[in-house]
Amino acid sequence: MRKGFSFFSLLFIGLFIISVTNSGNSVMASGNPKFEYQEEENRIDLGTIYIDEMGEINLEIEFKNTGTEPLIVSHVRACCGTRVRDWTKEPVNPGETGIIEVHFRLAPRPHNISRTVLAMSNDPGGQKVLRIRGRVAERE
Mean pLDDT of 15-24: 56
Chain segment 74-85, per-residue pLDDT in tens: 999 999 889 999
The per-residue pLDDT for 96 is 96
CA-to-CA separations, 119 to 16, 37, 95, in angstroms, rounded: 32, 10, 18
Q: Taking 80 as the threshold, does the pLDDT of residue 3 lie above it?
A: no
SS3 for the chain is CHHHHHHHHHHHHHHHHHHHHHHHHHHHHHCCCCEEECCHHHEEEEEEEEHHHCCCEEEEEEEEECCCCCECEEEEEECCCCEEEEECCCCECCCCEEEEEEEECCCCCCEEEEEEEEEEECCCCCCEEEEEEEEEECCC
Residues in a beta bridge with 111 = 136
pLDDT > 90: percent of the chain: 69
pLDDT score at 7: 63
pLDDT, position 67: 93
pTM for the whole structure: 0.74
Mean pLDDT of 70-94: 95
Residue 121 pairs in a beta bridge with 73
Q: What is the mean pLDDT of the chain?
A: 86
Q: Are 51 and 138 in contact (CB under 8 A)?
A: yes
* Of residues 17 and 113, more confidently modeled: 113
pLDDT tens for residues 36-59? 999 999 999 999 999 988 889 999
Distance between CA 128 and CA 139 in Å, rounded?
A: 36
